[in-house]
Amino acid sequence: MKLTAVLSAITVAAPLLVAAQNCQSIYLQCGGINWTGSTCCASGTVCTDLNPYYYQCLPGTASSTTATKTTTTTTKPTTVPTTTITATTSKPTTTTTTTTATSKPTTTTTATTTIPTTKTTTTTSAAPTTTASAGNPYTGQKLYTNSLWITHMQSSVAIDSTLSCAVGKLSTAGQSIWLDTMAAISLIAPALADAETVSGGAPIIIQFVIYDLPGRDCAALASNGELPATDAGIATYKSDYIDPIVAAFKLKASNIRLVLIIEPDSLPNILTNANLATCATSAPYYREGIEYALSQLANIPNVYMYLDIAHGGWLGWPNNLSGIVPIMQSVLTAATALNSAVASAVRGFATNVANYSPTHANGVAPVIGATLSPGTYNGVTYEEYEGNPAIDETTYVQLLTQEFAGTGLPAHFVIDTSRNGRAGIRDAWGDWCNVNGAGIGYFPQASPDSTTPSLDAYTWIKPQGDADGTSNTTAPRYDAHCGLADSLPNAPQAGQWFHAEFDMLVKNANPAIAGC
């Protein structure tokens, strides 16, 4: 059984029950690749093979049935339920100008306030003349949900049964699959096959994150990649990462639409962290890798790509808003020279990937106890913090839209709202690791804000519950940001399941998860 829901209605999905005995209760997991729990289902339910990674106890006539397939080992899994995106309206907020900041990734309903939408043009070098694929790719589409994420959420339900209602709703909302290693490429084929089954031939989106550049995460340690920033590393990235991904994607059914989030953190690091030796070394490989990736991925039918463009607390200062433009122009121009299809395949940019910047700050400063100040940017009055007008992601998208006018850059955006429901919860704006007090933000939605027409969608890119990085100071990938006072303690390695964080995100969801 595959679950579907209308995104704007967040009210469907059967509640998940917790097993109180040896056999699993209805709707709990009972088997699949890497599953180590019970394979027995309670009376009145049958252990049903939904996909190779996820068997579920569903209503049936057999009593006390057991999964007929055993588990094998592999890396991460694929995806399962779906959700239909419908356009709605929402609201923004206000904010203005100055210098730098840094950050990194790994990796709900609305209020009202209006924001100026004046645009100015910025002068810069030749534009790539990108014309994104016709129309908003999310409108009227179903979204596919990562089944490993569902399995992880079920493990949290087993610890805390009060999470079962929320997990039922989240399981239908649509979630991304991170291709963060070469081994993770094996997730593509089963995900595409399952999506074809789930969709019944109707249009459906699978969202993947491309994330394995040489020298990845050059300004932090928690999610360093597997490839070195060397000539050999970039050659491997092309031949053993991008090329196999393209080959796998080309086998998809024609009704499957791919939305690809391209290399979080990489190009923003080129702008703000060029002073770090690691980033200076990585920069040319970031450019070459992304240019190659775009040129090859553009050959796939029905593909829409969004380049990562950090978040307002990183690039929202005026110098950074203008500074990122020539970097994006250069990369897109070079990629388009390699393959003219890039011009239509690159839809725009993704903000707040795996971060915590709120969609709407509603007058709350990004730092605990801080206050906002009046300021101006391009002649428009904003509230700002330390000279940065982009105190929330809606404002950031609006400022980028202004900055891109006349540059040839495709001014279409998505915001990762997976963990950004709470404003003003950090001790410093640049704190990014397992932030204490965070909550789930808006559920995925197409065209969510009528005052910001350049915003294609709210979407979930970072799976809620996946850790940002370990708090273990002796771990090789320990990053000091993960040991700060505003970070959750006892965190596992980046990408591993962190029950305490998931529990917090659900219970701090803002707006609260409807019906729970």
* Sign of the CA dihedral with 507 first, then 513, 514, and 516 last: negative
What string of DSSP letters covers 420-447?
A: ----S-BSSTT--SSBTT----PPPEES
At which residue do the structure tokens 């908003």 appear?
A: 136
Known binding positions for substrate: 178, 180, 311, 314, 355, 432, 462
Decide if 449 is catalytic.
Answer: no
| Number of Cβ atoms within 10 Å of the Cβ of 370 | 16
User: Which one from 308, 392, 416, 468 is the annotated catalytic residue?
Assistant: 468
Known binding positions: 178, 180, 311, 314, 355, 432, 462
* Sign of the CA dihedral with 252 first, then 1, 460, and 428 last: negative
Beta-carbon-side half-sphere exposure of residue 279 (alpha carbons within 13 Å)? 19
User: Which one from 194, 265, 431, 456 is the annotated catalytic residue?
Assistant: 265
At which residue do the structure tokens 């200062």 appear?
A: 317
Backbone angles phi, psi at 473, to 5 degrees: -65, -15
What does the DSSP 8-state code read for residue 201? Answer: T
- Closest Cα to residue 324, out of 139, 512, 497, 100? 100
User: Token pair for residue 148?
Assistant: 């490993």
Beta-carbon-side half-sphere exposure of residue 431 (alpha carbons within 13 Å)? 22
Decide if 243 is catalytic.
Answer: no
Decide if 265 is catalytic.
Answer: yes
**3-state DSSP call for residue 28?**
coil
Q: Which residues pair with 144 in a beta bridge?
A: 82
User: Which one from 194, 212, 217, 308 is the annotated catalytic residue?
Assistant: 217
Catalytic residue list: 217, 265, 468
